[in-house]
Amino acid sequence: MKQLLILAASIPMLLSAQSNADSAYIKKISDEIMRNGKAHDLLRELTKGIGGRLAGSEQYNKAVA
């Protein structure tokens, strides 16, 4: 019974440690995206350069090329 109580008391500490590790990893991914990400450039090219497109249209062919 005493071991169960100790285990139950230590669970919040274990969860907190996992949360900190997850936060650090997510921050690392976010920093990498901000430094080397190309999503905004690609989005701008597709929306401004190629424009709206329907399947089979000329703009569609440009977008998938």
C-alpha 1/C-alpha 36 separation (Å) is 53
Q: pTM, whole model, 2 decimals?
A: 0.38
Pair 24, 32: CB distance under 8 Å: no
Closest residue by Cα to residue 42 from 54, 33, 31, 32: 33
Alpha helix stretches (DSSP H) within 1-65: 2-36, 39-44, 58-64
Each residue's pLDDT tens digit, 27-37: 888 888 888 88
C-alpha 12/C-alpha 57 separation (Å) is 57
C-alpha 16/C-alpha 14 separation (Å) is 5
**What was the pLDDT predicted at 50?**
78
At residue 17 the predicted structure's pLDDT band, cuts being 50, 70 and 90, is low
